[in-house]
Structure 1
Amino acid sequence: MPHIWIIEDNAAFRRGTERALTMKPHAHEVRAFMSCEDAIEALHCPHLPDVILLDVGLPGMDGIEGITHLKSRAPAASILILTVFEDDDKIFRAICAGASGYLLKSEPMAQVITSIDQAIAGGSPMNPRIATRVLAMFAQLAPAKKDYGLDEREQAVLKCMVAGMPRKQIAEATSLNPHTADYVTRSIYRKLHVNCATAAVSKAVAERLVEDR
């Protein structure tokens, strides 16, 4: 039977969650704590948690700070944030600290139970609204793909170069005569600010210039 720990300082919510998780047919072995400090102290017990439902706003050590301490003592445990907070800063910090998922207390308890099962199976359950914001946050962090102004013909030749084709085969694959293929290749060098095929290929791979669009 999976061991589920709840770290929640709101007594009514803690008792309600504990009661829901121990009801059949999806009963879990549940322990509940009102602070991270209490839970960390209990990690010396023989039965470590499989999943920890963790609030963010807690007395003493807050939930996000607690993630690091909990994971250091129970690295196999999946930590699911279960909170009322949905601001970007807390979401980002929780995920970077090692949270496996982020749920809101407004979730139906049936969805929380489903999320626990998903976490046990290795998933990373998130409230759909939170998931959308996480994707948006990480998209903003991704480096923008540079636009070197390569036209369609130059893109085709560069793709052949990355594939390791010799000059003659590049001309055949792109339906260009050899002289035109050479001209296009020199144009690629100029636009990428390189002076040889090796440098052009290296830059194309590093900056993902020829990925399928």
Structure 2
Amino acid sequence: MPEPITVLIADDHPMFRRGLRALLGTMPEVEVLGEATDGNEAVRLAEDLHPRLILLDLHMPGGDGLAAIRRLTAVTPQPRILVVTMFEDDDSVFAALRAGARGYVLKDTDEDEMMRAIHAVGNGGSIFSPAIATRIMAFFAEAGRAAAPFPDLTPSERGVLQLMARGLSNETIAAQLSLSSKTVRNYVSNVFSKLHVVSRAQAIVRARDAGLG
């Protein structure tokens, strides 16, 4: 038989702890080792009980969850941390992930999803509530767009600009990309508009300054 997923619950609301313990009681592969009511107690119990998984709220009195996560990364063996909270703002989500949390779900998550999260993080994976996953994906997509030069350009327009910056003519670009000359002229016109330039030379200077070409 596989070893049970040993769990420590860390939350300052007694009713929520009882509900969570009741849910865990329906999972024969899970063993609850204890409960903490604040971050300091969570760290102390983790050092004493060595749970594999900690279900931890972010905002608790007497030592908040974020500080606890940072301290728990130094506990040996290091527990896996699943944040279970009502807070879904970007600051809370990314602060928890930076601190070392392996998953992040909301307290109103349904029971099946909560059990999947417990299994996933307890067995070494990572998981997020759908709303949180969408937020994370949007954040990194936006970061990727911001990191790329000229984020207003489409990938095709950026590719044409890059070839322009290498000194290629429209006809050569069309042949290289298997496009019509008219299509390339349209892309070049869009590039001029989005870069707020009036000539090919100005566009090339902007592209080379940004590292294209």
TM-score, length of structure 2 as denominator length: 0.67
- Separation in 2 of the partners of 1:153 and 1:134? 30
Partner-residue secondary structure (3-state), 1:6: strand
After superposition, what is the alpha-carbon deviation per residue over 1:160-201, rounded to whole angstroms, capped at 9, x for unaligned? xxxxxxxxxxxxx959xxxxxxxxxxx9x967538xxxxxxx
Instruction: Report the Cα offset of residue 144 of structure 1.
Output: 2.9
1:122 to 112, 121, 124: 124
Distance 1:10 1:146, change over 3 A: same
Q: Is the 8 A contact 1:150 1:191 kept in 2?
A: no
Residues of 2 paired with 1:151 and 1:3: CA distance?
A: 53
In 1, Cα distance between the equivalents of 2:29 and 2:112?
A: 10
Task: Kindly state the Cα deviation for residue 85 of structure 1 after the two structures are TM-superposed.
Answer: 1.2
Structure 1 runs not aligned, ≥5 long: 159-172, 176-186, 195-202
Tell me, yes or no, if the aligned pair for 2:57 and 2:84 is still in contact at 8 Å: yes
The separation in 1 between residues aligned to 2:47 and 2:68, in whole angstroms, is 16
Counterpart Cα distance in 2 of 1:108 and 1:151: 45
Map 1:142-181 → 2, pairs under 5 A: 142=144, 143-147=146-150, 152=160, 155=163, 174=176
Conservation of the 8 A alpha-carbon contact between 1:7 and 1:54: yes
RMSD: 3.4
> Which residue of structure 2 lines up, in the alignment, with residue 167 of structure 1?
none
Query: What displacement does 1:88 show?
Result: 1.7
2:37 is aligned with 1:34: yes
Mapped contact 1:68–1:98 kept (Cα < 8 A) = yes
Deviation of the 1:49 alpha carbon: 1.6
Q: 1:88-120, CA deviations, whole angstroms, 9 ceiling, x for partnerless residues? A: 211121111111111111012332121111113
2:82 equivalent in structure 1? 80
| Aligned match for 1:64, one of 53, 63, 66 | 66
Q: Give me the whole-angstrom Cα distance separating, in 1, the residues matched to 2:75 and 2:162.
A: 54
User: In structure 2, which of residues 51, 55, 77 is the aligned counterpart of residue 53 of structure 1?
Assistant: 55
**Alignment partners' CA distance in 1, 2:78 and 2:35:** 19
Q: CA deviation at 1:59?
A: 0.9
Alpha-carbon distance, 1:152 to partner:
4.3
Cα gap change, 1:74/1:54 in structure 2, threshold over 3 Å: closer, same or farther? farther
Counterpart for residue 5 of structure 1: 8
**How far apart, in 2, do the equivalents of 1:116 and 1:5 lie?**
12
- State the Cα deviation string for residues 126-179 of structure 1 (Å, max 9, x = none): 1101111122223333443124976649649x7xxxxxxxxxxxxxx959xxxx
Q: Distance in 2 between matches of 1:150 and 1:67?
A: 42
Structure 2, unpaired ranges of 5+: 167-174, 178-200
Paired residue total: 176
In 2, the alpha carbon distance for the partners of 1:66 and 1:89 equals 17
Q: Which residue of 104, 107, 113 maps to 1:105? A: 107
Name the CA distance, whole Å, in 2 between partners of 1:21 and 1:103: 16
Identity %: 31
